[in-house]
Amino acid sequence: MKNICIAVALCLALGASAQTKKNTTKAATSAVAQKLTPEAAAERDMKALTALVNVDESVKADVNKIFITKYRTKEEVGSSPERMSALTSYVESQLATFIGDANFAKVKANTQLYNQLIK
């Protein structure tokens, strides 16, 4: 009888330990995936933009700076909705200026990419 109780307790302890380890692995992975530096997030946006439209080499650095500015501003604590709205307008106007109206129309037609780049 003692052996049966010890075996059941051991199985329960191992089962609880395995469940705890799974949860911490998922939490750590999602935290790493969500935390990108402004530079890395801007690089991701540049790759998505250049996959859709042709961006001149002469303006790539300027467009990248716009995206870095966007993500740095978003990182700041206490950003008000008015400031976020102004940031969205700024990014939209600067992006249209640098890539041209024809390319910007292509970006605007792709709603998912447009929202990723602008907001």
112 and 79 within one domain: yes
67 and 109 within one domain: yes
Specify the range with the lowest mean pLDDT, choosing from 1-10, 27-36, 42-51, 56-65.
Answer: 27-36
> Which DSSP string do the residues of 19-87 spell out, in sequence order?
HHHHHHHHHHHHHHHH---HHHHHHHHHHHHHHHS---HHHHHHHHHHHHHHHHHHHSTT--HHHHHHH
46 and 7 within one domain: no
Rounded alpha-carbon distances, angstroms, from residue 61 to 6, 26, 84: 66, 36, 23
Q: Which domain holds residue 31?
A: 1-35
Collapsing DSSP to helix, strand or coil, 118 comes out as: helix
- Quote the tokens at residue 64: 């990248």
Give the integer Cα–Cα distance in Å for 41 and 49. 12
93 and 52 within one domain: yes
44 and 22 within one domain: no
71 and 27 within one domain: no
67 and 96 within one domain: yes
What's the number of domains the chain is made of? 2
pLDDT tens, position by position, 41-64: 999 999 999 999 999 999 999 999
89-112 average pLDDT score: 94
71 and 113 within one domain: yes
* pLDDT given for residue 21 in this prediction: 52
